[in-house]
Each structure stands twice: as structure tokens, then as C-alpha cells.
Structure 1
Amino acid sequence: MYSKSIFLFAILLFSINVSSQTTYPKITGYFGIMHPIVTFSKDETTVNFRDYYAVGFPTGINIWKSEKIGFSLEFVPNIKDDNGTDKVTNLLFHPGVLVALGKGYTFAGRAAFETSGRYGFTPVFNKTIIKNKSCSYYAAVPLPVRFGNDHPATFTVGFQFGIAF
């Protein structure tokens, strides 16, 4: 009896073709590298690579409800090197909604909750650059807006690239 169950489970497992998954919900994962380019506030404008070096590593799961709409759950650890001292400065919890715009473009509207005490939202415009059977490569422009923690509101323009699978 036990061996029949294993045999039936194996047949079921091998009959599922995950690489050509077209049924929904569809689950994908991704990993990227995000560089903030410039940050504006009422007090100052700071430029990455000139004033300091900061980098984030967005990692997440997308759950597509249909071909057009989905939900994304992202975590982003951030590292900053300022005057030769580097450290993890923040962990960002970044849930949001995904909207497929067609021709490889996607809009992500994300809420933002940072361990630094800041919060806000991040519109992200994403484009799939290369699509293979097992993965795809993308580029994105995140536009974070942040408030709180006794700092002025900020607006940042960033550049992100990564791999989705």
C-alpha cells in the first residue's frame, strides 16, 4: 500500500510541467541589486557613489492571481559605506500589488516599512530584458518616497537589476 502511494505521487510529480506553468495563481521568485542614485529632501540632495555608497538586495516572491494582476512580498537588506565604515543600515519590508502593463513591463505599487523607523511607498517600473525557459533578467526604476523618524520627507530615484525564476 505504501509503495503504491509513493508510485502515484511520483507519477503526479513528474507529470507537472512547472516551466510552462500557465495556470493561476502562478508563483515566481526574484533577487536583485538596487542602487539609489539620488535622494532629494527639503534640506539637501545626496548622490550615491559621490557622497557615500549604498546598495540594497531586493529578494521576493510574486504571486500572480491572473495574467494581469498579482501580489508581491519583498524584503530588502541595505548596506551603506560612509567614510570607510560599512554596515547594514536597514531592512525594508516591501509588500505590494503588481500590474502587468504588457510587452514585458510591470508596475509594482509597494508599501514601505523600514527598521530605521521610516515608512512610505515605492512605485516601481520594471521591464523584463531577457526571458529564458528557466529564468528571466530584469531592470527596474524604483522611486521610493519616505517619511518619519524625525527626518524630512525624501524622494529617491534608483536603478535595480536582477534575476527572476
Structure 2
Amino acid sequence: MFRKYLLVLFVLLAHVNISFSQNSTQKIGVYASIVHPIVTLSSDGPSYNFKDYYVVGFPFGINYWKTSNVGFSFELAPFIKSENGSSKMSYLLFHPGVLVALGKGYTFVGRMAFETSGRYGITPVFNKVFAKGKTCNYFIAVPLPVRFGNDKPTTASVGLQFGISF
């Protein structure tokens, strides 16, 4: 299964390189970040990060802007959970999505979500660049993941993400 994702990424990047040379308005950027889920709501009630356990994710990815307003993002995010004195990688999230520039440094990202834990869903993300540097930008984002599957109740969460893009 992982080989299929690599093949899709290779084909996408090959297309990006061909298209990129034909249109100077297109651009490619990369980023790395850290995300903290804050609260998760389900039929079992609310569950708060930092209370009985701690979950942290490390999203990184590639953004391909087809125009100055619309693009595609390919993100991978390993998540680590610490609970009862031990920690482990909880799952890997495959998180492709569409980028829409909203102006004034704001971006909406509509992501599909596929977790190695067997869960899947969508993640709308609202992103804001808060500091621009000569070679990088710093951003803050609010992801709103909704997950289904794996014989668990549907969940909706709110998180806080901080990152740097190049």
C-alpha cells in the first residue's frame, strides 16, 4: 500500500516539474510543523489532550500552487501518544488536500484524511502566515478533523498547529 502512495507522489511530482517549467506563476513550497489536538468530541463525550494523555503530531509536506489562489498539498503526519508513563507512535496520517488563498496571509486547506489506525475522514484547516522572513514564513493553523471508521464513534476535534514554510 505504501508503494502505491509513493508511485502517486512520483507521478504528481513529475507532472509538477513539467508544468512548473511552462508557467512562471506556479510555485512549490515545503513546510514542517507541530500540531496539538486540544479537544475531541464524540458520542462518548469530550476528551481533552493534556489531561489523561498527551498526543502530538509532526505534519510536514509539499504545497504546489497551480495559481496564486489555488493549489494542492501533500502532507504526512506521524502522531505520538504518551499515556501512563509510556509513549508510542499512534498512527501515520496521509493528508492530501486543496489549497485556497483567502488573502491577507489566510489560506483554507480542505484535506482528506487516511490514518494507518484505520480511521478516515476530512480535515478543514484555517491557516494564517503571521511572520514573513526573507527565506521562510511562520504560520499558525486551526485544523478541525472529523474521523470515521474502525468500529469507533465519529469524532470531531479542534487542534492548534504551528509551523515554518520555505
Q: Partners of 1:23 and 1:135 in 2: how far apart?
A: 20
Contact 2:28–2:62 (CA<8 Å) still a contact in 1? yes
Q: Deviations over 1:118-144 (max 9, x none)?
A: 000000000001011200000000000
Hey, what does 1:108 align to over in structure 2? 109
TM-score by length of 1: 0.86
What code does the residue aligned with 1:70 have? G
Hey, what does 2:41 align to over in structure 1? 40
Gaps of 5+ in 1: 1-21
Q: State the Cα distance separating 1:109 from its structure 2 match.
A: 0.1
What code does the residue aligned with 1:132 have? G
Q: How many residues align?
A: 144
Q: Partners of 1:144 and 1:82 in 2: how far apart?
A: 22
Hey, what does 1:31 align to over in structure 2? 32
TM-score by length of 2: 0.85
What code does the residue aligned with 1:161 have? F
Q: Partners of 2:45 and 2:152 in 1: how far apart?
A: 12
Q: Partners of 1:42 and 1:23 in 2: how far apart?
A: 49
Hey, what does 2:154 align to over in structure 1? 153
Q: Partners of 1:125 and 1:51 in 2: how far apart?
A: 27
Gaps of 5+ in 2: 1-22
Hey, what does 1:55 align to over in structure 2? 56
The aligned runs of 1:65-80 (5 Å cut-off) are: 65-80=66-81
Greater Rg over alpha carbons, structure: 1
Q: Partners of 1:156 and 1:67 in 2: how far apart?
A: 30
Q: State the Cα distance separating 1:43 from its structure 2 match.
A: 1.1
Q: What is the percentage of aligned positions where both structures have the same residue?
A: 65
Q: Partners of 1:36 and 1:23 in 2: how far apart?
A: 37
Contact 2:65–2:72 (CA<8 Å) still a contact in 1? yes
4+ long deviations beyond 3 Å: none
Question: Equivalent residue of 1:87, what SS?
Answer: strand
Hey, what does 2:130 align to over in structure 1? 129
Q: State the Cα distance separating 1:23 from its structure 2 match.
A: 2.6
What code does the residue aligned with 2:139 have? Y
Hey, what does 1:86 align to over in structure 2? 87
